[in-house]
Each structure stands twice: as structure tokens, then as C-alpha cells.
Structure 1
């Protein structure tokens, strides 16, 4: 049950969806529904990394015909922001079609970013000013990763997001740190009960020497200074992949901690850590890592 709030906390609206339950599809379809019902045409999807940005782009390619069939062949343009193709930003602002721009936060979170600089190709106008003039609806994919230090209500990145002058912001994540105006919750238990995700119980997911498949091993848990778990994972290093023991807390993303190894891209968020003696676990929607288990079991 989502508690009723006495008043809105700004124009931010949060949707909590367990990883692996179709979050990208849901927010893309939401955009088309907003166009169909209310006529909105300007949308920006902000993602925390290039890898996730590429994943959204691939989803758009695969689902293009699906959305056209679903929404009566409505014309729309979707593109990934490229500082070398600023004409797309002008098109975003001036076209009557649905416009969907996918951009990673690193492209505009600093003053020196091309998006924030005056440009001769745009008659001396900053590209960001074209975007601001449209008051776009903004979708944030994994806001806890996009915004940076989630202990703070306001960060440099959250200020950068506001600089786009959004009409409102829709926030989608499995592990919100700041769940403004929470609209909907699909938690791990609901997702499992609805058979939207699988649960795997393992000590480590592959042999100790493998780098080609997903590997996670639980080494220890600790609650002396906040609840934490020490997990051994594969990590990208300049000399190549290696196994390394890192400290994790609830909400941490193995994909980001591993320096963006693709094996951890979908669903590897630490959802819960138990320090109860004999029941030491670190859990996500996709895996439960238990020290001492001999082999994986699935249910």
C-alpha cells in the first residue's frame, strides 16, 4: 500500500519497478500514452551510463513497429544525443512529431559540455536553450545513479537535470533513494509471485576461474557501521578482467562497481543484506548469494 501524501513534493513522480520486469518498455509506452491522451510531443530519457543508453536505443529499434501498430502509426523521431549532430537538437525543438531524445547525464552535467556552450552552427544559441524552450517531459532511468550522491536532496547533477526546464520528471528505479510522489510499486516479492523474475540461490555462479559468465561470491557481512556485504565479483582493470572483493551496501549496482562489465548489466542490484547469524545473505531480484552453499539451486 502506497501511503497518501498531503501535498505534491514538486513535479517529480516515482515508479518503483523491480529490475528485469520491463521497466524500459513501461516508460517508453508511457510516453506514447501521454501523447495520445494529452498531446505531449517532447520527451527526454536521461540514463546514468553509455551502456544503458545503448540498451535504450536498442529497445527503441526493436519496438519501433510495435509502437506504431499500437498507436495508429503515429509519426515519431527518436535519437541518441550526439554533440557532433546538433541539428537533431534543433529538430527536437521545432518538429511537430513526437520527439524522443536519449542522453546520458555525463553529456550535460558540466558547464563546459557542448550542450551548454554557445554554438555558431545554431546562430550563437546554446543547444540546451532549444531543449529548455520546449519544457520537455523528462524520464530518468535509475535516478539514484543519475543524480550522484543520493544522501543529498540537491546535487550538481540534479541541478543539471533541472537546467533542462522539464515540465515534470518521471523517475523509474528498483532502488529509489528519494522516492518523490511515489505512484506505483512492483517490489521483489510481487515480481517473483507474478513470475516476472527468477530467483537463484548460489554461493558463486560459475567456477572461480571463469570470466565469461556471471560470477558473484559472498565473502562476509557486517553491521558494525551500517549494514554492508563483501562480495567477490569480476571487475574490469586496464590489464584485463580480474576477481576482486568489494564492499557493497543496499542499493549498490554491481554493474557500476565492476566498471561496467556487461554480465552484471541487468538486475544485479543489492536489494537486501542480512547479518543474522547463520542466515548471512545478500539479495537481489535475480540472485541470493549465500556463504557456504556448495552449488546453485533454482526454483
Structure 2
């Protein structure tokens, strides 16, 4: 009976959120179930037209090249670094940047990004460097599990800088900061702008002067937002296009997004709930279906 009551509450919450957003049924664009090796996929990124993903905390320190049409693993790249809590992946055309900055409790003071040259389809681990940073605004490091505003899972590279977008559990917002990718001293993240999303952002991607973000609420609602770049590196001046994609109960916990000229690729990790589990799915939305 308790599970039925929980399900009814979730359904009412989902219907309310759907009324405030445009509905787009992501489940109609499912390609496959991801391989067991990447059940905790936590991001997607294109490098030279090849698509890569990775797992978050507690998993091997590896990047996986996956097939865009099937989601199958094509190649495994081993990273000589700890996977404390990897949450984001981007690149500048010469280097991969892996964000080891997951911070659900808001207590981490060792936020870092691994910068690794990538040549001839091989990681140059011997040249790996670490970018360390902190938020000047954070003074309190008291544990606040999934209630902190200093969690982080999203990162892009643009205009010679790394741009990070916080996952704010309490405020249901995101704050946009920038970092210098060539500064290997501990640096202060530079605050740029903030936006009230209404959900927690789990990944971001930049393509053709647009910022694409995905995320979810504690009530399992999953959303996609598309922001237009109003000025160079500025995204939050105008309201975005907000799409309700479905519930994590049916589409999974969405953690990755990547975009190219053909459309939008989305990945979700395995989702556990008191009323059932959802498999780690891989999706593709053709560009003509959204016309972004």
C-alpha cells in the first residue's frame, strides 16, 4: 500500500511539472540498454566526431568510446588518475578534461579537473595535469547530503576557458562559473551568472551558440533546457526552451548529453527506487524532431 501511495504522489507531481513545460517523450527515442560496464554513465562528449562516456564514483578510471548508433563500447581508454567522483567530460580539441568534482554532501575541498592530452586516439597519461579550484562563496562545509548548493556535474570548454554549472539541490538553480585551464595552482572559480532551473543539472553541452542542459528533481521529473548564447559565454539573460522528458522511473536517471549536427544524444544510469528499478538507457533525438 505504501508503494502505491508513493506512486500516486509521484504521478501528481509529474503532471504538475509537465503542465509548466513542453512535453517531449524521450522514451520514444530509446536506442539501447547500455553495456554492464557503463551502467553508471555520468556524461557524454564528442571528440573528433567520436562519442565518449565514463562512470562516476567507485568505478574504474576509464573513458569509453561508444557507437553513436548502438551505444556499444568500441574502445576503452585507461586514465592514470583516481575516480573519486567523476561527473563531467569535455575537451578543447587537443585535451580531454575530466571533472572529479562530484559533491553531493557539499564537503569536498579537493575539487579537481584532470587535463589529459589526447593524440592518435590515445590518452597521454604521462602528461596529465590537475586543475584544482574552490568556490569563494562557500564558507560552510558542514555535511548536507543532497541538500547542498555546491554540488557539480556539468562542464564545457568555450573561448579558452572551462565553464562549470553547479547542481544546486536546495535552490534548484545553477550557477555558471569559469576556470582557467592553464592554471595549475589552486584557483577561485569565477562567478558569471545564475539561473533558476527548477531542477538539478546533471550535464551540459555547448553546440552552435546554444547551451543544452539535462537534469532532474528529487521527485524523478527529468528535464531538458536549451539556452541561446546572448553574448559570448553568457547564457542566462533570456528564458530557455524547457522540455519535460518523462520520469526517471521509466527513462532512467539522465546523466549525459552531447549534441552534433544530427541531433541530441542522451544517456542515463541505472535508477533505483522503492517501487522499481530502471535500466541504463541510451537515446538519440534527431535534430528535425526538436528543430533547435
Report the TM-score, using the length of structure 1 for normalisation.
Answer: 0.28
Of Structure 1 and Structure 2, which has the larger fraction of its residues in helix? 1
Of Structure 1 and Structure 2, which has the larger fraction of its residues in strand? 2
